[in-house]
Amino acid sequence: EAGGLVWAYLGPKELEPPFQKYEFFDGPPENRLVFRVNTPCNYLQLWEGGTDSSHVGILHCNLANPEWKIKPDFAPSMEDYSSVSLANGDNAPVLDLENTEYGYHYAAKRQGPKLPDGTETASVRVTAVIFPTCRIIPLTFYQFFVFEVPQDDERTSTYLVAHGPRAFDREQLKHVLGLDKPHLWDEKSCDYKVGLFNNFGQNRDVMNDVWSGLGGLVPEDASIGASMGPIVERHKEVLVAADAAVVRLRARLLESVRRHEAGGEPFGLSIPDYTKVRSLADTNVPKNRRWQEWLPNNMGLPSRQQEPAE
């Protein structure tokens, strides 16, 4: 038991990897909240959606986009500790990806303000993607870890871990996550109950205030994932530039599988300590600086190792 979760290794004793430590293992228990959500779809379509930074200001716009209905009060303060707000309303960030020892991380760059000396900046938001199931979502005041763990091909347990420098109000965070809807999520079974039978939880009567008709991060992400069907037919997709992080996820997963089949280790298997691997919330980075300088412990790989093998 560690970090509010029970961890298990299933496999031959002689192949057992080191137990991996994350930042949220440390600190007072009240500074950490853990939720589990069982969703009726394949783990990869949930993971892909979660690694896509450009969806935040669109799918979650009434929570995250400061230009949603021209609301000037989106700038988060410590009094709004559960805020998931973006720094600006740009829904078409430029994506800059870098492979790492455990998978990859990438920056979504939006236009930032000029510095006093006139230097242009980019508002940079970095997501770390840790194989085989984790991502760290960048939020202003705390780190948000998400583990997409497959139960089987068509059912996923998502573990959500919020960890920060002060105690959380569980009910407040449940509201932001959208887990305060007992007709959709049962806290005892952890089952997210959606499908065609209830229109995936959508209430179109509230769309003037909650544009998706779902409300909260989890209903929006999980309902989108489940509405694709148990396993989405990817050969029907038309991918665009905004899908670069999703494409990289698939490429790195396939590369990790090939390494394993050739007798090597999958990405990240022998890394014992992730406590210094972080995401980066919206940070104004001068355009003549590399955003990686703000994340020196994220294990970025040299540029020659950036493109996956064919």
Q: Give tens-digit pLDDT for 199-227.
A: 999 999 988 888 888 888 888 899 999 99
CA distance 63 to 143: 17
The tens digit of pLDDT for each residue in 147-157 reads 999 999 999 99
Between 63 and 116, name the one with better pLDDT.
116
Tell whether omega for the bond before 132 is within 30 degrees of 0, i.e. cis.
yes
Mean pLDDT, rounded, for 140-152 = 94
Provide CB contacts within 8 A for 164, sequence distance 6+: 31, 81, 141, 142, 143
pLDDT value of residue 309 = 45
CA distance 54 to 94: 9
CA distance 278 to 272: 15
Neighbour-count burial for 153-182, b at 16+ CB within 10 Å, e otherwise: eeebbbbbbbbbeeebeeeebbebbbbbbe
Handedness of CA 212, 78, 126, 299 (dihedral sign): negative
The tens digit of pLDDT for each residue in 257-279 reads 999 999 999 999 999 999 999 99
- The answer to whether residues 133 and 275 touch, using CB atoms and an 8 Å cutoff, is no
- 267 closest CA partner among 131, 134, 141: 131
Q: How many residues are there in the chain?
A: 310
Give the count of beta carbons closer than 10 Å to the beta carbon of residue 150: 16
Examine the pLDDT at 305 and tell me if it is beyond 60.
no
Place of tokens 């490429």: 251
In the structure, how many helices (H) and strands (E) does the chain have?
A: 6, 8
Which 3 state secondary structure label does DSSP give 175?
Answer: helix
**Lowest model confidence (mean pLDDT) among 61-65, 193-197, 284-288:** 61-65
